[in-house]
Amino acid sequence: MKLSTKHLLGIKHLTTEDIQLILSTATQFKEVLQRPVKKVPSLRDITIVNLFYENSTRTRMSFELAERRLSADVLNFAASSSSAAKGETLLDTVNNILSMKVDLVVMRHSASGAPHFLAKHIPAAIVNAGDGINEHPTQALLDAFSMQEKLGQLAGLKVAIIGDIMHSRVAMSNMYLLQKMGAEVMVAGPPTLIPKYISEAFGVKVEYNLKKALQWCDVANVLRIQLERQNQPLFSSLREYSLAYGINRRLLDSLGKEIVIMHPGPINRGVELDSDVADGSSSIILNQVENGVAVRMAVLYLIANREN
Ligand code: CP
């Protein structure tokens, strides 16, 4: 089977079959990653550039590891240490890199739509590693893989996405993916961090009371407060945010049921999650990171395979 799309620009453009194909391929690659020799020759003739115009720890390292596990040749580009800092345009930069016979571009950019723009102007396939406040498709795929691994299936699952929904590409990609796969989705947080149109536009439930959201859900996917994307204050202080929307052990214990805690990282410890929750038995945060490698291997393998 092949993906229906040349690029992975967002979950919005994927079919249910695409998502199932990526998740089942990731299961096979996760098995490879349990072996003593964690490497396969699948992409040994492919060269991939990781083009990062915005900071990253998990996504950048996970893509690089996935590429190396698939035996691809890898180039890493960080905008801050490149000629982009001298004013070179995105298109000039990418065309120069592609002229060195690079086959596939993985790109993170602070501008929403940057990978979509690039897709219209270059011949190579593009994988979106997070664009502004638009989408972070591989994060949603690894989140789905992790939920499925922990709880069996996505259909019928109740997932609450909690916190800074307004600025979150993770929330956007998760809403698309979970609904395509038959899960129920709620967004929860302060009214100032939840877009007014979200219920009509996405068909998700909206809840402003944290405890009610936690009582409803099987899984809480907790988001980072993205102060760097807020032009004006949207709540009074981090301390007040934490008092109303921070998740601590006492709150979890008061629910009278077990829920799964997820977070895409990086965590603001003591703000959206206390350490005893982030590091506690309900948390699958590091499983998400582990699964990111297998999921990205699946995405790269399927995108490269579609080109052949
Ligand atoms: N989850 C995520 O995108 O983390 P990084 O910003 O560290 O890549």
- Ligand 1 centroid to Cα of residue 286, in Å, is 13
Residues 294 and 284 in one domain: no
**Whose Cα sits closest to atom 6 in ligand 1?**
56
| CA separation for the pair 222, 219 (Å, rounded) | 9
As a whole number of Å, the end-to-end CA separation of the chain is 13
Q: How many helical (H) and strand (E) elements, i.e. helices and strands, does the chain have?
A: 12, 9
Q: Is 1 inside a domain boundary? A: no
Residues 253 and 198 in one domain: yes
* pTM for the model: 0.97
pLDDT at res. 237: 85
Same domain assignment for residues 149 and 22: no
Q: Specify whether 265 is located in the same domain as 188.
A: yes
What tens digit of pLDDT does each residue of 25-44 get?
999 999 999 999 999 999 99
Q: What's the average pLDDT block by block, 10 residues per block, for the chain (308 residues)?
A: 96 98 98 98 97 97 98 97 96 98 98 98 98 98 99 98 96 98 98 95 97 98 82 78 96 98 97 97 98 98 83
pLDDT of residue 226: 76
pLDDT by residue (tens digit) across 29-84?
Answer: 999 999 999 999 999 999 999 999 999 999 999 999 999 999 999 999 999 999 99
Cα 25 to ligand 1 centroid, rounded to whole Å: 22
Which atom belonging to ligand 1 lies closest to the Cα atom of 60? 8
Residue 178: CATH number of its domain:
3.40.50.1370
Report which residue type is found at 237: S
**DSSP tag of 42:** T
* Distance (Å, whole) CA 90 – CA 88: 7
Residue among 129, 136, 140, 131 nearest 183 (CA): 140
Same domain, 157 and 187: yes
Residue 295 to residue 276: CA distance in whole angstroms: 28
Domain assignment of residue 65, yes or no: yes
For residue 13, the CA-to-ligand 1 centroid distance in Å is: 22
One domain for residues 144 and 275: yes
Residue 4 counted as domain residue: no
Where b means 16+ CB within 10 Å and e means fewer, 169-198 reads: bbbbbbbbbbbbbebbbbbbbbeebbeeeb
Domain shared by 162 and 271, yes or no: yes
21 C-beta neighbours (distance < 10 Å), count:
18
Q: What residue's CA is closest to ligand 1, atom 1?
A: 264
Is 94 part of a structural domain of the chain? Answer: yes
Residue 254 C-alpha to ligand 1 middle, in angstroms?
31
Pick from 58, 66, 96: nearest CA to 77: 96
Count the domains in the chain.
Answer: 2
The number of CA neighbours under 13 Å toward the Cβ of 99 is 6
Domain that holds residue 171: 137-288
Same domain, 118 and 171: no
In a domain, 57, yes or no: yes
User: d(Cα 193, Cα 204) in Å, to the nearest integer?
Assistant: 15
- In-domain check, residue 2: no
**Are residues 141 and 17 both part of a single domain?**
no
User: What one-character-per-residue DSSP string does 52-94 give?
Assistant: ESS--SHHHHHHHHHHHHTT-EEEEEEGGGSGGGGT--HHHHH
Nearest 10 degrees: Cα torsion 34, 38, 40, 43: 110
Residues 152 and 85 reside in one and the same domain:
no
Q: Are residues 126 and 165 in the same domain?
A: no
Show Cβ contacts of residue 134 under 8 Å, excluding neighbours closer than 6 positions. 10, 112, 113, 169, 172
Question: In 10 A of CB 215, how many CB atoms?
Answer: 15
Residue nearest (by alpha carbon) to ligand 1 atom 3: 59
Substitution candidate for ligand 1 out of 50, 55, 56, 143 with most atoms within 8 A of CB: 56
Q: Are residues 145 and 263 in the same domain?
A: yes
pLDDT at site 307: 54
List ligand 1's pocket residues with C-beta within 6 A: 56-59, 130, 139, 264-266
